[in-house]
Structure 1
Amino acid sequence: MSSPTHHWIKRLADTRKPAYLAIPDLIEEDLATGRLRPRDRLPGLRDLAEELALNYTTVARAYAEARKRGLLDSRAGSGTFVRGRTATLPLAGGSSIEMSMNTPPEPPDYAARLRDSAARLMSGSDPYQLLRYQDFGGSAADKDAGAEWLKRRVPHCDAQNVLVCPGIHSALVALVSQLARPGGTICLDTLAYPGIKAIAAQLGVRLQALPRDDEGPLAHAFEALCKTDKPSAFYCNPTLQNPSTLTLTHKRREALADVALRYSVPIIEDDAYAMLPQSAPDALASFAPELTYYVTGLSKSLGAGLRVAHLHAPTARQTQRLAGALRATTVMASPFTVTLATQWIVDGTALDMLNAIRNESRARQAIASRMLEAWPYDAHADGFHLWLPVPAESGWSASELALQLRNQGIAAVAGAAFSTDGNPPNAMRVCLGGSKTRDECEEALRIVGETLDHPHHLHSPVM
């Protein structure tokens, strides 16, 4: 059985950060991606020092720092264990508030719409057919509906190049496995969806972070990498990026696509949040259609449980190759879920729900602007998360702030989970959709603001 920390060896070699600070970041990252789980046992100090080729003192300092961040528990005679969620102080409603998972807020009539749609689906479908194997990648009707949905962002979309997948993550697994061999390189932003990090680690693919500015990854850095070590692909989350909320400008998208075209580098365009803004620059797929694998899903637009994604490949042949990779890992998407998604797209429910979720997101962003007025952060009015830099004058580090918030019943994610260059920003992603109501969202954001205002809680005892 392989060690849960063996993959740290390469990560430590790639980072410029001291190992005693990098190891706690890696623990935090592995917790966020699910590689580590609460109550997992970590190697002892001497064993880990030997495995990572570090001295004993460095590893001891790393574990001490991780305990300070609330990530580990050490028990005499038993070992060192990953901590689960700390016991929380209940809020007014008596339960904790989820602000770590980026899920769309649910409009007031969401449940009624879902019940009505499910009833119509069951009355108009053969229920046995929904429990049987279906054509992989979706039926012709499912692909046609997917193509119509994608044309909102990819006008040249062709249904024969569309695959219906059980979520964006599964599509990314297939794409990485097809485009990059073990040991190959995928380049991306210095901040990225944690899932792409987990996929790359699982498949033995190296991630190379590209320097960024206020408009996103730098095109000249992408070109420099292409000249010295041609990457297998360029991964990009260009619209309302997770976690930074950045939307790449038209000019930056054009420049990145130009580099990809000149060096024949495939583009993985993970446009999970593409449908939320009322307007956004053209997709990278519009600038480099012959190289771009465009994927978006319904879980970030309509509901986290609607695990349906639509992937558009450059050619029919590449679509079939991807279908084989997806079949090997996921067999097929749930027929019931896909049929519901297709029905929603065709009858207009999807667009109605998208507008309702956009309106609810705006209401919650307005709450955030009031509750966090004293603390600058990045957000988009139509999105449902924000990126909160933790200023040095607050007295907090992002990981310590996240721990303190957990102690108060609020779950948020520190920047280490999203870093791809080993140098995570002192910032935190706060999601607004997990709160059941606007009042609950306001209460949670009030606590976030008050905690930032009172760094003397930094050394409060863990409850």
Structure 2
Amino acid sequence: MTIWRPRADILRRPVYVSLADQIASAIDDGKLVQGVKLPAHRDLAYDLKISIQTVSKAYEILARRGLVTGETGRGTYVKSNGDTTQMPYIADRPLGIVDLSIVTPVCTNLQLEKTKEALADLSANLNPSSVLSFRPNAVMPRHQEASVRWLAELGVDTAPENVIITNGASAGITTALMSVAGSGAVVAAEEICYHVIRPLCDYLGIRVRAISADKEGMVADHLRDVCSREQVRTVLVQPNISNPTACLMSGPRRQKIAEVASQLDVAIIEIDVFGPLLRNRPLPIAAYAPERTIYITGLTKAVLPGLRIAYIAAPAQYAPPIANRHLMANWMATPLVAEIATTWLEDDTVQAMIEWQRDAINARQQVVKEVLDGASYQTHPEALHLWLTLPADHDELAFVSHARLRGVALAPSSPFTLNGHSAGAVRVAVGVQDLQDLRSALGTISSLLRAKPDRNILPV
């Protein structure tokens, strides 16, 4: 059978991008199927009369898009059939599966009843502008005022006109990146980070540079080195219980990252969706570099999944372009959801539900400590997830597949890595409603860690 090969005569500058696009199109069209080995760097460079470095850069782009995977000495293989939106979880879960693959707050009848009460109150006391107005400046000022008071409790000093309200943190991250980076720009992020970052930057035409991390998260000295060598426009950082590694960055580390960004004139996007859950949280990076830090937080992870609301607190220089781009892309956050969020902020329901959530998480983390005793993992007493490092003899995808066959869904590491490769770890969410379900699922994980690895299990 003839193996598809890229064509040299249709390559355009920049050649590495054009080559990556050709291969991606072939995968999408089915000309290159899953598992097919791509030509070696040197062979393809010779065939196309281009440099080996150009081929390497093209393969790197494909890996970031989640289309190929490879290891030194084995080669590069097609990973998926055009699915550039790979998520670390399976969208639908059949009955009988304990889903530890997606991070959610603990939800019980308490959250459901609170929501029903809020909807009833909204019906009885509806602000007409929330359903009758097309104008954000007629709808959002009250919500901006309420958010400023809450942001102050989180350590962020801002003004109402500098707050942009969005439908969740992902929308906020997208708007912020469009505003302070843009197509062709270079941004820096931790080498293992929130799974949305890699595909989002690809879609926006933004180049991402991986920054090494330790148990506190991003390493400031490596950030300085990368920013000194390249025209980095923005750094993305999640200092409070980072997703997926559950790192908590110390105050001195935050201050050092702020100093690096200030010295090299780099903007900061600080993602803090888990920060509200921390009883004793360090000051945000925004407190050390308020003139350049775009701070993003929300209520979805800390309070209620369906409360799709987030707040961008931007420096005065960035607030207008962020607001304009959000206007063009989304117009405004959903007013009815904003009404519930603001009501809950004003009557302290948010704080009460966060305090309840902390206690619920503490109980689940105690189960983690008991059941996974002896395992290698990183977490925090108020974290909704943990980062479990697998023993060296375990294959990550086989481990995930084996757990799935035994009724436990886990998130593999590859969607979180900027190079798309395995980190030999899995993310385990612990926000399960039933503690016994969590104990049982963690028991399955523990037994798999102790068992002899089975590499013959097919991915599911």
**Match of residue 439 from structure 1:** 436
Tell me, in whole angstroms, the C-alpha distance in 2 between the residues paired with 1:42 and 1:171.
35
* Helix, strand or coil at the partner of 1:368: helix
**Match of residue 400 from structure 1:** 398
1:59-106 per-residue CA deviation (whole Å, 9 max, x = no partner) reads 9xx79999xx9x779xxxxxxxx9996999x8xxx5212211111111
Sort the Cα spacing of 1:54 and 1:268 in 2 relative to 1 into closer, same or farther, 3 A. Answer: farther
**Match of residue 335 from structure 2:** 335
- 439-448 vs 137-146, which moves further: 137-146
**Match of residue 369 from structure 2:** 369
Which amino acid in structure 2 is aligned with residue 239 of structure 1? Answer: N
**Match of residue 358 from structure 1:** 358
1:188-239 per-residue CA deviation (whole Å, 9 max, x = no partner) reads 1111101111210101101101122333222222222222213110110110
Which amino acid in structure 1 is aligned with residue 272 of structure 2? Answer: D
Give, in angstroms, the shift of residue 129 of structure 1: 3.8
Matches within 5 A, 1:53-452: 94-126=95-127, 129-130=130-131, 132-135=133-136, 139-315=140-316, 317-392=317-392, 395-421=393-419, 424-433=422-431, 435-452=432-449
Give, in angstroms, the shift of residue 10 of structure 1: 6.2
Tell me, in whole angstroms, the C-alpha distance in 1 between the residues paired with 2:165 and 2:321.
14
Give, in angstroms, the shift of residue 287 of structure 1: 0.4
Sort the Cα spacing of 1:131 and 1:401 in 2 relative to 1 into closer, same or farther, 3 A. Answer: farther
User: Would you say the 8 A contact 1:107–1:357 is kept in 2?
Assistant: no
Give, in angstroms, the shift of residue 458 of structure 1: 3.8
Sort the Cα spacing of 1:129 and 1:407 in 2 relative to 1 into closer, same or farther, 3 A. Answer: same
User: Would you say the 8 A contact 1:270–1:296 is kept in 2?
Assistant: yes
Sort the Cα spacing of 1:48 and 1:181 in 2 relative to 1 into closer, same or farther, 3 A. Answer: farther
Give, in angstroms, the shift of residue 332 of structure 1: 1.8
Instruction: Tell me the TM-score normalised to structure 2 length.
Output: 0.80
Tell me, in whole angstroms, the C-alpha distance in 2 between the residues paired with 1:122 and 1:230.
51
Tell me, in whole angstroms, the C-alpha distance in 2 between the residues paired with 1:158 and 1:382.
29
Tell me, in whole angstroms, the C-alpha distance in 2 between the residues paired with 1:421 and 1:462.
20
Tell me, in whole angstroms, the C-alpha distance in 2 between the residues paired with 1:264 and 1:446.
49
Tell me, in whole angstroms, the C-alpha distance in 1 between the residues paired with 2:362 and 2:294.
30
Residues paired across the two proteins, number: 414
Matches within 5 A, 1:28-43: 42-43=30-31
- 121-130 vs 177-186, which moves further: 121-130
Tell me, in whole angstroms, the C-alpha distance in 2 between the residues paired with 1:293 and 1:87.
34
Tell me, in whole angstroms, the C-alpha distance in 1 between the residues paired with 2:102 and 2:308.
15
* Helix, strand or coil at the partner of 1:386: strand
- 366-375 vs 237-246, which moves further: 366-375
Give, in angstroms, the shift of residue 331 of structure 1: 2.0
User: Would you say the 8 A contact 1:184–1:232 is kept in 2?
Assistant: yes
User: Would you say the 8 A contact 2:401–2:458 is kept in 1?
Assistant: no
* Helix, strand or coil at the partner of 2:164: strand
Contiguous gaps of at least 5 residues in structure 1: 4-8, 14-22, 27-35, 74-81
Give, in angstroms, the shift of residue 126 of structure 1: 4.5
User: Would you say the 8 A contact 1:451–1:457 is kept in 2?
Assistant: no
Give, in angstroms, the shift of residue 181 of structure 1: 3.1
Tell me, in whole angstroms, the C-alpha distance in 2 between the residues paired with 1:291 and 1:370.
43
Tell me, in whole angstroms, the C-alpha distance in 2 between the residues paired with 1:177 and 1:354.
31
Tell me, in whole angstroms, the C-alpha distance in 1 between the residues paired with 2:170 and 2:191.
19
Tell me, in whole angstroms, the C-alpha distance in 2 between the residues paired with 1:184 and 1:142.
33
Give, in angstroms, the shift of residue 108 of structure 1: 4.7
- 450-459 vs 299-308, which moves further: 450-459
Give, in angstroms, the shift of residue 399 of structure 1: 1.8
Which amino acid in structure 1 is aligned with residue 32 of structure 2? Answer: G
Tell me, in whole angstroms, the C-alpha distance in 2 between the residues paired with 1:86 and 1:162.
32
User: Would you say the 8 A contact 1:185–1:205 is kept in 2?
Assistant: yes
Which amino acid in structure 2 is aligned with residue 399 of structure 1? Answer: L
Give, in angstroms, the shift of residue 133 of structure 1: 2.9
Which amino acid in structure 2 is aligned with residue 44 of structure 1? Answer: L
User: Would you say the 8 A contact 2:246–2:380 is kept in 1?
Assistant: yes
Sort the Cα spacing of 1:144 and 1:128 in 2 relative to 1 into closer, same or farther, 3 A. Answer: closer
Which amino acid in structure 2 is aligned with residue 327 of structure 1? Answer: L
Give, in angstroms, the shift of residue 157 of structure 1: 2.0
Give, in angstroms, the shift of residue 424 of structure 1: 3.9
Identity of aligned residues (%): 24
Tell me, in whole angstroms, the C-alpha distance in 2 between the residues paired with 1:86 and 1:113.
27
1:162-183 per-residue CA deviation (whole Å, 9 max, x = no partner) reads 1111111111111111111322
